[in-house]
Structure 1
Amino acid sequence: MASINVTPSPVQRLELQPLPLPILIQELKILTMPLPELTEHLSSKLGDNLIYRVDPPRSIGDWDGWEERLTSQPSIGDDLIVQMAALPALKGRRDSLSRDLVDWLDYRGYLAGSEVDIAENLGLDPESLTEILDQARGSLDPPGIFARDLTHCLLLQLARMGREQGDGATLLREASEALTSGGYSQAAISLGWTEKRTKAAMDELSRLDPSPGRAERAHPVVPEVALYPDGIRAAVLLEENLPKIRMTPLEWDDHRIDAMTREGLKVVKDMARRYSTKIAVALALGDIQRSYLTGLSPAPGSATLEDVGDRTGYCPSTVQRTASSTWTTTPRGTMPLSNLFSRPLKARPDISVAQLRWVIENRTAIGDGIGRIAKDLGIPVRTVSWHRSKMGK
């Protein structure tokens, strides 16, 4: 029978430093894009390419009709419209204006056109639109919505946190081109900063959301990875659920062929980076949570973003984005990789929050009180009380 060790024991604690951003923020979209959207994205990128083509996943038929099976589709647009009712700049204007403005957002939550074009389309003078957008950007959640581009989106988030004068904001405003072309080393040279300072600013940016509007779309659950924590094949990609990129070599002596080849190779490299990152995070989590996945432990043990970052070389923010956007099949069922994280207790680092709550659930069911549970685990009563209240017990 699965059980939790309740004997207090000393455990060494390691102080882990966040690793530098392993990929530029601009590349995060391809990493976190849901599979149905990924297939559409690849087809769009390679639509006119005569050398490379995209074959949809073999299992795509299983996705058909998923929209109808949802009781309600989450929509960030509907939520924004409710919030916009409180904007002073919209008082007295036509009721449909909020919806019209939301319709100008792309899937990331950015404006899908220039403010001049939007104002003309909506019958607004530029000054009125600017006033509305300034109020929306300063108060609506999630922060970063209605941004003009990625840099503007991140700056809006930093401003909301009172960090518009910090190093992260300075990096965006003064060295974004150097950052894109040469990475943080080139940005450091451009700003006259040490690499340590530049890496710290990059880490600050990596914790922001480059696509605050992504909740706009719901998607079916399509696992990309299977975890087999038996030590033989720990993690594999589920190829039947993944789009394939096929190549047909052409012998034409034409500059267009070279351009198509370069374009196709870039897409292939992006996909290789996506899958290698997901497999690396899955392998790390599968190894850490082997006891839970094989049924030896009733709840996930301690696993933090820093733990996985230490094993994979990815910074914690990249680990978080990868885990939260990757579904996996396991002996415990299908779940996002993020379900395998659980922070350790401060009083007992060898016990995770998930394990504590499993103990509380089961001990409460047999009539044990908070004091008895806390004593047996060697942790403060207030810790048990707090977690029990969070569980609704």
Structure 2
Amino acid sequence: MNELRLLSGLRGKPRLSPKAFLGANLLLAPAAELTDICRALAGDNALVRFSPPRGFSVRIEDAEDFYENIAERPSLDAALYPQICGCPGFAFLEGTAADPAFWSSLLDERGYLNTTPEEAASIAGIDAAAAERFIKNLQDYVEPAGLFAADLKESLLIQLRRGRLEGGAAWRLLTEGEAVLLSGRAAEWGGSQGLEAGEIEAALALLRSLDPAPGRNFAPAAFSLPDIEFVIEGERITPRLIVENMPRVENGFAEFEAFSDALLREKWLRGEWRAARDTLKKLGMRYRTLLRAAFHIASVQREKVMAPSRPPEPLTYKEAAAALSLHTSTLYRAMQNTSCLISGRSYPMRIFFSRAAAAEKTVSIAALRTQISTLRAQGLTNREIGERLGLPTRTVAWHSAKIGAARGR
């Protein structure tokens, strides 16, 4: 961003010049929103027009990395990806059907199918029977139970079947007494079927305990439009702006060809020039700042850029901001809304930041927790982990609790 300057000659407390915030609204905005923001800033401009990037596409953020923050719930796509890969029958699929993201894209926010098996088969280019068969496998395999159902009734039946409650009073209420269940006459219907009042009450309680929308157990799918790509060529890392993801800027000069150059100097066009210039300047400042941050990240977090699954080296926003001559909060907010591309996958830029562990300044908190998590999976206690890592037991216990809280969310 431009330099911060204090207004002088004013009584009272110093105030920041409004110019200090020039470009902030573009630097802190997600890339997918840039076109609309630029249009709003430039207005109905006679000189420049902004349109969505020609190569516009969205990629789902990688949720597999472990951050030092308490993790958010994974998106439906991220959570189902490994499950779909391991689902019986997946290994035999080909083409579009062999992409796990295709199958998760068939779900709405509730976790129900947003299309029919026949339509899914047509899109994937496979036999309708094969699509229906694999969807049935997904219903019996993925967690939580109830996903990939056609509607609420089927979702509840899947949950009952997965809980080995098929044929019970709750099952019969859904399959045989659906109409009376909806009308509130379940007790009356149960009596005619030889079911005790207690059985009907237990069945109703069981149905109420089931999840009517299993897809809402996940965070909304997080889509990102990367600004930066880390190009890896052997041992060399080169950050570059993804130009194809930038808003397209077109000038309207051709519309003035029939007029003299003097027209472009008319007073009524001064406002148009100013709005166009300011918007382009803000856009340029955004990309300059992000590219500078990318070069700094590439120099400090080289190993993580080469292998994104690795935990980051210690790097705080304050340290990076000082190196880039930015305010810490500016860099922090910019990194929360931008993402990068590494080997064809999109990652949030925030994965490169982590405080140093208090017990070991050369190790980041993210790296320390990764080590603790791995050793706990091997059955080691906090004391044994502390002895192996050379840390106090209380330190290991504190981080173990944080890891447990993150996984429990």
Q: TM-score, normalised by structure 2?
A: 0.50
The equivalent residue for 1:29 is 25
User: Rg bigger for which structure?
Assistant: 2
The equivalent residue for 1:164 is none
Assess if the C-alpha contact under 8 Å between 1:229 and 1:290 holds in 2.
no
Assess if the C-alpha contact under 8 Å between 1:34 and 1:219 holds in 2.
no
CA distance in 1, matches of 2:58, 2:314: 35
Assess if the C-alpha contact under 8 Å between 1:235 and 1:282 holds in 2.
yes
Q: Does 1:71 align with 2:74?
A: no
Q: Which amino acid aligns with 2:244?
A: E
CA distance in 2, matches of 1:295, 1:36: 26
The equivalent residue for 1:220 is 223
1:382, distance to aligned residue in structure 2 (A)? 1.1
CA distance in 1, matches of 2:343, 2:292: 19
Q: Of the candidates 227, 233, 238, which is equivalent to residue 234 of structure 1?
A: 238
The equivalent residue for 1:38 is 34
The equivalent residue for 1:303 is 315
The equivalent residue for 1:95 is none
**Structure 1 residues 311 and 62: CA distance shift in structure 2, 3 A:** closer
The equivalent residue for 1:367 is 379
CA distance in 2, matches of 1:254, 1:298: 58
Q: Does 1:266 align with 2:272?
A: no
Instruction: Report the 3-state secondary structure (helix = DSSP H, G, I; strand = E; otherwise coil) of the residue aligned with 2:50.
Output: strand
**Structure 1 residues 42 and 27: CA distance shift in structure 2, 3 A:** closer
Q: Of the candidates 273, 290, 296, which is equivalent to residue 278 of structure 1?
A: 290
Q: Does 1:257 align with 2:269?
A: yes
Q: Does 1:243 align with 2:239?
A: no
1:257, distance to aligned residue in structure 2 (A)? 2.6
Q: Which amino acid aligns with 1:24?
A: A
1:360, distance to aligned residue in structure 2 (A)? 0.9
The equivalent residue for 2:79 is none
1:69, distance to aligned residue in structure 2 (A)? 7.2
CA distance in 1, matches of 2:334, 2:388: 37
The equivalent residue for 2:54 is 58
Identity %: 25
The equivalent residue for 2:90 is none
Q: Of the candidates 331, 339, 344, which is equivalent to residue 351 of structure 2?
A: 339
What is the aligned-residue RMSD (CA, Å)? 3.3
**Structure 1 residues 318 and 70: CA distance shift in structure 2, 3 A:** farther
Instruction: Report the 3-state secondary structure (helix = DSSP H, G, I; strand = E; otherwise coil) of the residue aligned with 1:383.
Output: helix
Assess if the C-alpha contact under 8 Å between 1:285 and 1:303 holds in 2.
no
Instruction: Report the 3-state secondary structure (helix = DSSP H, G, I; strand = E; otherwise coil) of the residue aligned with 2:387.
Output: helix
Instruction: Report the 3-state secondary structure (helix = DSSP H, G, I; strand = E; otherwise coil) of the residue aligned with 1:335.
Output: strand
1:373, distance to aligned residue in structure 2 (A)? 1.9
Q: Does 1:352 align with 2:364?
A: yes
**Structure 1 residues 286 and 355: CA distance shift in structure 2, 3 A:** same
The equivalent residue for 1:323 is 335
CA distance in 1, matches of 2:323, 2:240: 18
CA distance in 2, matches of 1:61, 1:283: 24
- The one-character-per-residue Cα deviations of 1:110-130 (angstroms, maximum 9, x if unpaired) are xxxxxxxxxxxxxxxxxxxxx
Instruction: Report the 3-state secondary structure (helix = DSSP H, G, I; strand = E; otherwise coil) of the residue aligned with 2:223.
Output: coil
Assess if the C-alpha contact under 8 Å between 1:370 and 1:384 holds in 2.
yes
**Structure 1 residues 293 and 60: CA distance shift in structure 2, 3 A:** closer
The equivalent residue for 1:173 is none
The equivalent residue for 1:105 is none
Q: Which amino acid aligns with 2:54?
A: R
1:332, distance to aligned residue in structure 2 (A)? 9.0
CA distance in 2, matches of 1:273, 1:222: 18
Give the count of matched residue pairs: 229
The equivalent residue for 2:196 is none
CA distance in 2, matches of 1:70, 1:274: 35
Instruction: Report the 3-state secondary structure (helix = DSSP H, G, I; strand = E; otherwise coil) of the residue aligned with 1:60.
Output: coil
